[in-house]
Chain A
Amino acid sequence: MALIKNGTLAADIWHRYDDDTPLQADIPALVSLERWQAEREDILASTADIGVVLRADQHPDAITGDLPRLQVVALEFPAFTDGRAYSYARLLRERLGFEGEIRAIGNVLRDQYLFMQRTGFDAFEVKDGVTTRAFLAAIEEVDLYYQASADTAQTIWQRRHTTEDASAAAA
């Protein structure tokens, strides 16, 4: 697995623990929702860097109150055809105001990067061998969007009228 973070290939400092392995203080830990809920205080005591992994059937409502303590929320795509996490990512960004990392894990493929990025993901666990260039090429293939989403890109609807304003102002 390689990690693309904020558009570039990055080293992954996070370790995804299974539910039985003891946490190590100096290793940033990704834990399951079940483990987080069962051992919250212990986890908070044992390491500073914590992220929670949500399966596709686990709604972010389950961690609303914990978000200030989490650096990462990893959302799983069990198959690329399962699009629930797109909605979860938008809820995390737009409704719950989460500013940490939202990581796409599981079946994360080239042709979904753009949808993921637009819904609020900023980190992507991708196949080994994916380069920064390949990633950027994939998300830049289409750079015009009609509808608003969790990203800050100007929509076509806005640009149409900004352009008009600009030319009107110039006239």
Chain B
Amino acid sequence: MYRYDEFDARFVKQRVEQYRGQVARRLSGEMTEDEFKPLRLQNGLYLQLHAYMLRVAIPYGTLNAVQMRKLAHIARTYDRGYGHFTTRQNIQYNWPKLEDSADILDALAEVEMHAIQTSGNCIRNTTADAYAGAAADEIEDPRVWCEIIRQWSTLHPEFAFLPRKFKIAVTGAAQDRAAIRVHDIGLAIKRNEAGEIGFEVLVGGGQGRTPMIAKKIRDFLPKDYLLSYLEAILRVYNMLGRRDNKYKARIKILVHETGTEELTRMIEEEWEALRRVTSIDIPPEEVKRIEAYFAPPAFETLADTNVAFEAKRFEDKAFAQWVRHNVKPHRVPGYVSVDISLKPVGGIPGDATDAQMDLIADLTDCYALESEIRVTHQQNLVLPHVKQSDLYALWQALAAAELATPNSGLISDIIACPGLDYCGLANARSIPVSQAISNRFADLEQQAHIGPLELKISGCINACGHHHVGHIGILGVDRKGEEHYQLTLGGRPDNEAAIGKITGPGFSADGIVDAVETVVRTYLNIRLSEAEPFIDCLSRVGADPFKERLYGEKAA
């Protein structure tokens, strides 16, 4: 993975000191809260319902054991002993004090981390396939270009005050696991007919109040031109994106109102002009330098299957179940990627205690090549490179810390935003609903029987819980002062990205759990076989059979 050199390190230090000065000017009253707000936001500090919240960037979800230990230390020292991994592949702390915030940033800088641009109307932390460098279907490791984007976008002087926040996601694999179609810019690495590597460029995806699937504006961009092309997109957006209404300020609205064709023309024209006059693109020797950090780790030459591992799988049913759901194929024989579930039955999705983080760091040192960890946008963790032969020992240690729930991709692997328990914008609570659903489907055998099903919950229309792209989506709304929940079906974040459709009238907090169960029972009744997952069944039969069961014959 990428490591800071002296320039990166000095830059982050300078930034922390600058922020320390800003906090001091705020505390002394020299600066008003209005003036301070965008500055603290650009350093990741939000003001939430009960307290400040600090969001720490985990660049494209990649970190190592040393960094994980520091995150545990921060949870223990400055927070209440836990942290929350988010759909943006970041971590959030819910209870830091303003006075401590610069010290926390200092602690992060010690391990080459920061909170720059995790908030505010700027280019946010770039996200990527959590299995980058490990997945069998990968064309090229997307993290090289994610790191280049990270450096380019960091304190970019032209794009610090965009109309709205701006999110870029990159995948290097055939199967999109980074939800690139619901980001402001989605980039898919591809190979053209001449065998060259480049990007397919999508623009204008997003969730929130007006969910939209991104439009393709370029089929193939040679990779050396990525930054000038991004700069062209951002410049057009910065000048033309709406600033009169924050709900219409994202680039998706600009795409929608201008038309994909016309906007593409403007972007291409800007790009041509940019390339003529300035040298925005990263020098090739610098690309090489960054690439070297992402060279594959030193894999051993191993057999495809490990006998001892197979034996354990045969003997120990619980282990076998975990392997079935939480262990993913790897491009190198004898290796696998391991999902560490942060979704214990009845737990809070994405939360990890300081002790769990420390343990994961220790296990990573023992069992994961290069001590590498990933954060997924499903709010779980991944150890990308693990030997099959180490799986049993790893599983035992994870299980002892409640980190081995075998539910990856199943109904209790729920994405949920913080909701009304923390968030100042929320209409309704997300976490308790998530917990109730997780408890309702506590039987892991039953979950396995139901099969792959993505359930996602947001506490308001901002959709941080990605409900629009949940196979089953739940949206908290306010109905005459009461928490109320809408149900959507058929969303998906992958190559066939789609926005879920509302089934009908919403439900109470208890009613929504029953409604989810009704949907699942209906599916079990009508699926062709276990081999037809929920989402395929739904697209075969449509939503009507589900609506009938939810609301009675007439509704459908």
Using a CB–CB cutoff of 8 Å, the interface residues on chain A facing chain B are 59, 80-84, 86-88, 90, 94-95, 109, 111-112, 114-116, 118-119, 141-149, 156-161
The verdict on B277 contacting chain A, using a C-beta distance below 8 Å, is yes
The one of B11, B162, B279 that contacts A156, using a Cβ cutoff of 8 Å: B11
The verdict on B39 contacting chain A, using a C-beta distance below 8 Å, is yes
Write out, one digit per residue, whether chain B residues 216-239 have a CB within 8 A of any chain A CB (1) or not (0).
Answer: 000000000001000000010011
The one of B121, B277, B286 that contacts A157, using a Cβ cutoff of 8 Å: B286
Measured CB to CB, the nearest residue on chain A to B276 is A95
The verdict on B161 contacting chain A, using a C-beta distance below 8 Å, is yes
Q: Is the CB of B277 within 8 A of A94?
A: yes
Given the known inter-chain contacts A111-B39, A114-B157, please indicate yes or no for A161 contacting B285, CB distance below 8 A: yes
The one of A83, A109, A143, A148 that contacts B279, using a Cβ cutoff of 8 Å: A148
- Which stretch of B14-22, B421-429, B548-556 is in the interface? B14-22
Q: Is the CB of B10 within 8 A of A118?
A: no
Q: Is the CB of B285 within 8 A of A156?
A: no
The one of A59, A81, A156, A159 that contacts B161, using a Cβ cutoff of 8 Å: A81
Cα(A119)–Cα(B279), bound, Å? 14
Q: Is the CB of A95 within 8 A of B273?
A: yes
Q: Which residues of B contact A109 (CB under 8 A)?
A: 35
The one of A84, A94, A119, A161 that contacts B286, using a Cβ cutoff of 8 Å: A161
Measured CB to CB, the nearest residue on chain A to B39 is A111
Which 5 residue pairs of A and B lie closest in terms of their CB atoms, listed nearest first?
A83-B161, A118-B157, A115-B157, A141-B18, A146-B151
The verdict on B280 contacting chain A, using a C-beta distance below 8 Å, is yes
Q: Which residues of A contact B158 (CB under 8 A)?
A: 83, 86-87, 90, 115, 119, 149
Q: Is the CB of A146 within 8 A of B152?
A: yes
Cα(A84)–Cα(B161), bound, Å? 8
The one of B7, B18, B238, B289 that contacts A87, using a Cβ cutoff of 8 Å: B238
What is the distance, in angstroms, from A53's C-beta to the closest C-beta of chain B? 18
Cα(A149)–Cα(B285), bound, Å? 19
Cα(A81)–Cα(B163), bound, Å? 8
Cα(A161)–Cα(B156), bound, Å? 21
Q: Is the CB of A142 within 8 A of B18?
A: yes
Write out, one digit per residue, whether chain B residues 1-30 have a CB within 8 A of any chain A CB (1) or not (0).
Answer: 000010110110011011001100000000
Cα(A145)–Cα(B280), bound, Å? 13
Q: Is the CB of A94 within 8 A of B278?
A: yes
Main secondary structure, interface of A, reads: helix
Q: Is the CB of A95 within 8 A of B155?
A: no
What is the distance, in angstroms, from B429's C-beta to the closest C-beta of chain A? 31
What is the distance, in angstroms, from B13's C-beta to the closest C-beta of chain A? 10
Q: Is the CB of A83 within 8 A of B7?
A: no
Within 8 A of A (CB), among B41-91: none
Q: Which residues of A contact B286 (CB under 8 A)?
A: 157, 160-161
Q: Which residues of A contact B235 (CB under 8 A)?
A: 87, 90
Q: Is the CB of B5 within 8 A of A160?
A: yes
Cα(A149)–Cα(B227), bound, Å? 12
Within 8 A of A (CB), among B152-179: 152-162
What is the distance, in angstroms, from A157's C-beta to the closest C-beta of chain B? 5
Given the known inter-chain contacts A156-B11, A160-B7, please indicate yes or no for A145 contacting B277, CB distance below 8 A: no
Other A-B pairs, 10, CB within 8 Å; known A83-B238, A114-B157, A161-B283: A83-B159, A83-B162, A84-B238, A86-B160, A87-B239, A118-B157, A144-B10, A147-B156, A147-B227, A156-B8
Given the known inter-chain contacts A86-B157, A109-B35, A114-B157, please indicate yes or no for A143 contacting B238, CB distance below 8 A: no
Q: Which residues of A contact B14 (CB under 8 A)?
A: 141-144
Q: Which residues of B contact A94 (CB under 8 A)?
A: 277-278
What are 15 A-B pairs at a CB distance below 8 A?
A86-B157, A86-B158, A95-B273, A95-B277, A112-B160, A112-B161, A114-B157, A115-B158, A118-B157, A141-B18, A142-B15, A144-B14, A146-B11, A147-B153, A149-B157
Cα(A116)–Cα(B243), bound, Å? 20
Q: Which residues of A contact B280 (CB under 8 A)?
A: 147-148
Q: Is the CB of B17 within 8 A of A141?
A: yes
Cα(A140)–Cα(B217), bound, Å? 39
Q: Which residues of A contact B160 (CB under 8 A)?
A: 83, 86, 112, 115
What is the distance, in angstroms, from B250's C-beta to the closest C-beta of chain A? 15
What is the distance, in angstroms, from B170's C-beta to the closest C-beta of chain A? 18
Name, among B39, B243, B280, the residue most crowded by chain A CB atoms within 10 Å (CB to CB). Answer: B243
What is the distance, in angstroms, from A149's C-beta to the closest C-beta of chain B? 5
Cα(A95)–Cα(B273), bound, Å? 8
Cα(A108)–Cα(B238), bound, Å? 18
The verdict on B347 contacting chain A, using a C-beta distance below 8 Å, is no
Cα(A86)–Cα(B235), bound, Å? 9
Measured CB to CB, the nearest residue on chain A to B278 is A94
Name, among B11, B153, B157, the residue most crowded by chain A CB atoms within 10 Å (CB to CB). Answer: B157
Within 8 A of A (CB), among B135-163: 151-162
Cα(A146)–Cα(B286), bound, Å? 11
The one of A80, A88, A95, A143 that contacts B38, using a Cβ cutoff of 8 Å: A80
Q: Which residues of A contact B154 (CB under 8 A)?
A: 146-147
Q: Is the CB of B282 within 8 A of A141?
A: no
Cα(A81)–Cα(B7), bound, Å? 29
Within 8 A of A (CB), among B246-278: 273, 277-278
What is the distance, in angstroms, from B358's C-beta to the closest C-beta of chain A? 33
Q: Which residues of A contact B152 (CB under 8 A)?
A: 146-147
Q: Is the CB of B155 within 8 A of A142?
A: yes
Q: Which residues of B contact A148 (CB under 8 A)?
A: 278-280
The one of B21, B162, B243 that contacts A141, using a Cβ cutoff of 8 Å: B21
Cα(A87)–Cα(B22), bound, Å? 26
Cα(A128)–Cα(B18), bound, Å? 22
Write out, one digit per residue, whether chain B residues 280-317 have a CB within 8 A of any chain A CB (1) or not (0).
Answer: 10110110010000000000000000000000000000
Cα(A142)–Cα(B116), bound, Å? 13
Q: Is the CB of A59 within 8 A of B239?
A: yes
Cα(A158)–Cα(B279), bound, Å? 12
Cα(A119)–Cα(B160), bound, Å? 11
Measured CB to CB, the nearest residue on chain A to B290 is A157
What is the distance, in angstroms, from A90's C-beta to the closest C-beta of chain B? 6
Given the known inter-chain contacts A84-B238, A87-B238, please indicate yes or no for A145 contacting B279, CB distance below 8 A: no
